[in-house]
Amino acid sequence: MLSVRLGRIDRVLYHLNAWAEAPRKLITGGRTVRLDGYRLQPINTIDVLGLDGDRLTLLVIPPHTNANDAHRTMMTAAQPHNAATVDGLLTISQRDRDTRNQASTAQERWESEGGTTASLRLAQLPG
């Protein structure tokens, strides 16, 4: 259905810390789709880009969400001219938003200081 609106899909953008590590590209139907993780991509969204640059933002409902609440949220998000924010649609409180932002900032700081790389180097030391 996305290709009906966007044509051939070129890229998929996701929040780097919100998803498991993904390959840099996906081959489907003989075509290559680039998968790009960014820390500035809003959490709970995925952007899908067509070859001509058209963009469609998809809302990702957390898997533990009550089915009725998830359906209501998706119906609200799909309304024409809906201008609600992701946090507003998911009824994320300011406290939860602050906690999420602090966790993301801490993760970025850890990685920028050599987090994953340093851990791997330590694990490879003899003895």
Domain boundaries, the chain: 1-60
Q: Is 18 helix (H, G, I), strand (E, B) or coil?
A: coil
Please give the model's pTM, rounded to 2 decimal places: 0.65
Phi-psi region of 47 (alpha: psi -120 to 50; beta: other; left: phi over 0): beta
Q: Is 114 helix (H, G, I), strand (E, B) or coil?
A: coil
For 43-89, the pLDDT digits (tens) are: 889 999 999 999 999 988 888 888 888 898 888 888 888 888 887 78
CA distance readout (Å), 63 to 19, 68, 69, 70, 99: 13, 12, 11, 9, 19
Question: Mean pLDDT, the chain, as a whole number?
Answer: 79
Which of the four pLDDT bands, split at 50, 70 and 90, describes residue 106? low
